[in-house]
């Protein structure tokens, strides 16, 4: 969790130098597709179908850290520093919900 928050805060600080334009919808879609592909793959590898989905989701999150950071980087682009800080403070909970959804979706497809 600390690693994720640190990565988000690093992105926020780096964004202070030169503010790029907001992300395009294609950039958002591409980063989200990469994330969900990673989550699906990790879920298939790590889920035994019996363990608590939230517990599996935490393990899945660890395997898709770069993809989560990429999505946040794209989504945060163009936002105020205050808004970025607010979103960064909620990152772990949001990521856990997304990863749990991916685990449950993968289970339902099996």
The pLDDT value given to residue 110: 73
- The alpha carbon dihedral of 31, 32, 34, 35 has a sign of positive
The pLDDT value given to residue 88: 87
Cβ atoms of 76 and 15 within 8 Å: the answer is yes
How many whole angstroms separate alpha carbon 62 and alpha carbon 55? 12
User: Is it the case that residue 10 has pLDDT exceeding 90?
Assistant: no
Look up residue 50 and give its DSSP letter. S
What pTM was computed for the model? 0.76
Report pLDDT digits (tens) over 13-65. Answer: 665 556 778 889 999 999 999 999 999 999 999 999 999 999 999 999 999 99
Cβ atoms of 107 and 47 within 8 Å: the answer is yes
Residue predicted with more confidence, 58 or 4: 58
Q: Tell me which residue has tokens 């990429």.
A: 70
């Amino acid at each position: 969790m600390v690693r994720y928050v640190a990565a988000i805060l690093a992105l926020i600080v780096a964004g202070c130098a030169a503010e790029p334009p907001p992300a395009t919808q294609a950039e958002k879609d591409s980063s989200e597709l990469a994330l969900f592909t990673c989550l699906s793959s990790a879920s298939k590898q790590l889920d035994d179908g019996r363990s608590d989905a939230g517990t599996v989701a935490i393990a899945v999150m660890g395997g898709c850290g770069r993809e989560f950071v990429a999505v946040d980087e794209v989504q945060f682009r163009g936002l105020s520093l205050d808004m970025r800080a607010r979103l960064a403070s909620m990152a772990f909970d949001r990521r856990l919900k997304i990863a749990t959804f991916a685990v449950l979706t993968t289970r339902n497809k099996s």
